[in-house]
Chains A and B, each alone.
Chain A
Amino acid sequence: MADTVIAVTLLWGLVFIYAIMASMDFGAGFWSMVYINKEKTNATNIANRYLSPTWEVTNVFIVAIVVGLFSFFPSATFTLGTVLLIPGSIMLLLLAIRSGFLVFSHMAKGYEKALIYVSGVSGIFIPALLICVLPITHGGYINKVNGNDRLDLGALFTSPNVYMFMLFAFTSTLFLSSLLLTDYSKTSDQYNAYEVYRRDALITGPCSLIAGFLVIATLRTESPWIYNNMMDHVWALVASIIAFIIAGLCLFLPTKSRLGRPRISVVMVIIQYFFASYVYGRSHLPYMVYPNVTLEEGFTDPATFKALFITYIVAFIILFPGFVYFWSLFMKDRGYLKKNFKSKDDNDPEGAY
């Protein structure tokens, strides 16, 4: 494989992981806000229990993407850095408020509700802003003024395609997070929360699928080059839809305790997103920013790439056991997940933290 292809695949992998983790993260923050007054369902607690140990790890991925981008494709970063100043800064401001208040809400129990509102609301806008980077790279929103690239905010915010991307980000954030929380509540034996999140997943799932179709439909008129490329890989889109349908059906599989096998659904939905982002990423090539920057033009120095690639491999070997340990402590340990709720019932102020 060419170095550029390896680099862009690694970057794509990071974006894919972040897209999934961030949806769950921002979505969980949003749900914890929505259900804050329904104490009996424990839905807010489920969301917080998931969020507390994971948000930092999720956050590292966005930094990893920024670093991956400028170290693999410095020239593309030059263009993107220049045009993204305003949307990027707004995203950063929201992220700062969101993360700060998320942490504060765990510590200042007396003001928990207000703080959760601030972090929930600021968090839910972040995916919608982040996703705007995609249509911007499709071309049409960058003008040259005196030889410098400028983002045409007017064109950006009057484009139906951009709004469809935002809608997609919003709905799929809600879908992924509610589905994950369905599974998480089941593992924790919290059946009230389970019912709530299962219902939410069943509502938001089809919405996100429709939004996905709308994105593709509007791409057809606004960025035909990428639309046409996508149609060359239509098999993967079909695979994606099949995975979605299986995921939906699994929520109706009867089991011993309740209706639904959310763990399989989660896996299927990740497969669904995998295929969908594969088609999208594949069709985006060879452009990083259409039509100004291609993979080859934007690429870093070969010596630097080689050094970076080696660190990736070494880091993977070192970090992988850490991730497994983390996973086994927080996602799998049924004893932990259940026990923690008891301490909550005892009204122990630390237990919830």
Chain B
Amino acid sequence: MDHLVTARSMFGMTMGFHIIFATLGVGLPLMILIAELLYQKTKDPSYNIMAQRWIKGFSVLLGVAIPTGTIAGTQLSLLWPGFMEVVGKVMALPFQIEIYAFFIEALFLSIYVYAADRISPFMRILSVIFIAIGGAASAVLITNVHAFEGTPAGFTITDGNITNVEPWAAFFNPSFLVTAGHVVVSAYTTVGFIIASVAAYKMLRSRKDKKVYSFHRKALIIGLTVGGVFSFLTALNGHESAQHLYEYQPEKLAGAEGLFETQDHAPLTLGGFTDVENQEIKYGIEFPWALSFLAGNSFDTTVIGLNDFPREYWPPLFIHTLFNSMVVIGGFLLMLALAAFVWTKFLKKKEFPKLFLWAFIISGPLAVIAIESGWIFACTGRQPWIIYRMMKTSEAVTTSADLSLLFFLFLLVYIILGIAVVLVLRYYFKRHPVSEDLAKLNSEGGI
């Protein structure tokens, strides 16, 4: 493989693996907090059991999130030394502040997990709040580095030297808030639907056991509520993100939509494949004028097509598919949550039919696919730049040769960790079924 391609694949692989666990790490504390609060409010011990089980799952997932994150952080310096030299001089703040967020999360996580029985309910809830803040803050901050890559600010490069550095201007670069917001709300969306997936699956399998069934039903409702609210916010904010692309990275938007000619009343095409030869999207469904509206809130908006950019600056055109997957999944999740809401609140139905449950079951994995597509779209769509219009990825890559062996070693370790984490979770939750937790409750005298 080509050196640059290997380096890119290696880093992309690390991030693609880390992000699964990191997203759950950002979102699960919110779910645990909600369960703890519901427990304090309703005194229904199911919610306490829920919080305890989720925190167990959370601590296993962190066993992978933390080392893979450590790999990501170090690999940045190992694979992209040229990039990190700029980041060190200009954009060090988010990394540095992220460390503090990690400390807050790590300290209070240990306190919550290992000292839960020795601290007051108030301190417990406070600890979860700190964990949730730490997780969300680390996501916001690291995403800010990604935002900076797309919309760099706060420095100039003259003759290869970095000058006029303003670290806070770099920190508050134009797409910071939109991008960071999108990552956090999409993480909450994902975790909401993951919880709903697991709960729906367990409901299917525990039809006969009333208690267990109603336990999972409660979890499902929490998951759907969180997922529904945040998928709405994700879509709103996603719209905002697309408008940012229009303004700051127009060739990425053109690539995402397969738009070749600059035009107003530009159409938006869903699905299909970008055909470079004929300059069109094949087999897609076209919505006339929609892209202009998406980009600028009016049908008159002129959207710049790929042909107005030098060919070497074109992003790879398969990002069209990645962008579509994210948006379609986002739409599906939102509809699903809405449908469930109408079903229970307006139609007043008590039970979800099987089809509904199956839709919930696939919603979690779909959300993870959306996260992955969104990131690969965002990072790959920026190519050939590592810092947009400032530094090419090829200028930043390490000069050390022989990445291939390392690539396969990392792949191997991720496979081992990926399989092990699934086995351990299964092992643990098989050994400690909900029915046991619920039974313990009853044997303690039904207090």
Contact = CB atoms under 8 A, between A and B. Distances in A.
B70 A59 contact: yes
A325 B111 contact: yes
A75 B100 contact: no
Contact of B100 (A85, A104, A318): A318
B80 to A, nearest CB: 8
B307 to A, nearest CB: 38
Contact of A70 (B64, B92, B166): B92
A300 B89 CA distance: 5
Nearest to A67: B95
A85 B78 contact: yes
A304 interface: yes
A67 B96 contact: yes
Contacts of B71: 92, 95-96
B283 interface: no
Contacts of B68: 96
A100 B64 contact: yes
Majority-rule SS of B interface residues: helix
B97 interface: yes
Nearest to A299: B89
Interface in A117-175: 148-151
Contact of B103 (A60, A70, A72): A60
A99 B424 contact: no
A77 interface: yes
A336 B88 contact: no
A108 B93 contact: no
A72 to B, nearest CB: 8
B339 interface: no
A82 B400 contact: yes
Interface stretch (A50-58, A234-242, A244-252, A281-289): A50-58
A52 B62 CA distance: 13
A308 interface: yes
Contacts of B69: 63
B177 interface: no
A60 B74 contact: no
7 contacts: A64-B99, A83-B400, A96-B71, A110-B431, A300-B88, A303-B167, A308-B92
Interface of B: 56, 59-60, 62-64, 66-71, 73-75, 77-79, 81-82, 84-90, 92-93, 95-100, 102-104, 106-111, 113-115, 118-119, 162, 165-168, 398-400, 402-403, 406, 409-410, 413, 416-417, 420-421, 423-424, 427-428, 431
Given A52-B110, A60-B106, A71-B95, 20 more contacts: A59-B70, A60-B99, A63-B99, A67-B73, A71-B96, A74-B86, A74-B89, A77-B84, A82-B398, A86-B406, A96-B413, A100-B64, A102-B63, A150-B400, A301-B89, A304-B93, A307-B167, A311-B97, A322-B108, A329-B114
